[in-house]
Amino acid sequence: MPKHVKELGEVSIKRLRHREGPNGISAKANHAVGGVTGLYLQCMPPAEGKTLGSRQWILRVTVGGKRREIGLGGYPDVPTKKAKEHARELKESIKVGIDPITERRSVKERLKAEQLSEVTFRKQAEKYIIKKKEEYKTAKQVTRLSSHMEKYVYPYIGNMLLKDIRRGHLINMLENYYLKVPDTAIRVINHVYHVIQSAIIEEIIPPFNPAQWSGNLSTVFPSKDKVAPVRHHPFLKWRELPNFMEKILADEEISAHVLAFMIYTVSRPGEARLAEWEHIDLDRKIWTIPPGEVKGNDARKSDKKWQIPLTSQAIEILKKQETYKKNKKFVFISKRGRNLDAAYLGSNLNKKYGFDGDAHGFRTTFKVWCQENRVADDEVTELILKHQDTSATRAAYARSQLFEERKRVLTAYCHYAATGETDKTRELSKGRIGKF
């Protein structure tokens, strides 16, 4: 039978404190206040520099055969009268089979679920963009993703709660631009899918994703290939390359130098125009292109370091530059002393030499030359193009990047581009004659 405790008055309760042990060590004290069986005021020792510790209402009860201690709030924020009323209510609920702690936990879980379900698409997308920032190779990719969200997604569903987004909302969104930019639209809806999927994984919303394109939204729209047929980069036929090189090599404009260097190294336009002297070793005849995550160069699309063989033709271009041996950062600079922007290798540049195409197409010229002249295995030519094999097995064998094989092929290609000789080119590609 519970021990009867005299009910303390308010003045007495205010005076309750922690206890001092026999060795002068302060310890918490639980004081029965009476009025409600099992109601205590728990008094903690004061923190350093304080005279009074925190005080907390505690209700000790037995629930289903288990001893429980239930916190009722701090004193004096929760006054004595309120604490006693709450204690009596809890004891009544226990009599009818309710466990207050379990019930409180359930309420917290429901509240947490309600708070999670109030997440907007924009808020979840911002988390997704942060994650992609770590995955993407260049800052340009992150900027493009953010721009696509701002332009193609947020105006339509950005402020909607994730739990409220339905297939119809996404159809209405895509109808605004799918027929105009189908490739971008599909790229955008795939990002939307992954944003919603991340919310499903985090248990913010139920496991249903209305943004799936294949077999879902794709059935509502015409095929992308029907709306916008694939257009490849226009490229110069390899048989016309020697005459083309003769024209650009006769041009002293910096744009012609960049284009020639790009062709001789089979590099991407951005890689060539932003080449830096610190990455070029003329003694070893190697141009090292750092991984794509290096800041400040969004033209690097690979996350690997690449060593590009420099042929005599490429080195000749480098030595013509006014930056040669002048301790400059960039190899190619404008008349104003700045690094070149993308306009220097735009389509208008090629029209200047009687070719209506773009600079990137010269990589295709190289690939077709290799195929039709059978100068190298496809694996070697793909590595010259810096295309990474998605096959884990082949990628493992290509860790050396086949530098010597690539050097022979580039030597042959540059010789052909400079002279138009075909027979000698095949011999060079096999490494039978000539020096690098």
Domains of the chain, with CATH numbers? Answer: 10-115 (3.30.160.390), 121-227 (1.10.150.130), 238-429 (1.10.443)
| Position 181 pLDDT exceeds 60 | yes
Predicted TM-score (pTM) of the model is 0.54
Above 80 in pLDDT, residue 167? yes
User: How crowded is residue 364: how many other Cβ atoms within 10 Å of its Cβ?
Assistant: 17
Beta bridge partners of 60: 69
Q: With contact defined as beta carbons under 8 Å apart, do 83 and 72 qualify? A: yes
Query: What DSSP character marks residue 276?
Result: B
| Structure confidence at residue 98 (pLDDT) | 80
Q: Each residue of 78-118: pLDDT tens digit?
A: 999 999 999 998 888 888 778 777 777 776 766 666 666 67
Cα distance from N-terminal residue to C-terminal residue, the chain: 102
| pLDDT, mean of residues 360-385 | 88
Please report the beta strands in 160-319, taking only residues with DSSP state E, as ranges in sequence order.
280-281, 286-289, 306-309
Share of the chain above pLDDT 70, in %: 84
Tokens representing residue 132 in the block:
């992609």
**What stretches of 75-166 show up as alpha helix (H) in DSSP?**
80-95, 100-116, 121-135, 139-148
Average pLDDT, rounded, for the chain: 84
Name the most confidently modeled range: 42-51, 169-178, 226-235: 169-178
- Over the Cα atoms of the chain, what is R_g? 37
Query: What is the reported pLDDT for 92?
Result: 86
pLDDT category at 233 given cuts 50, 70, 90 is low
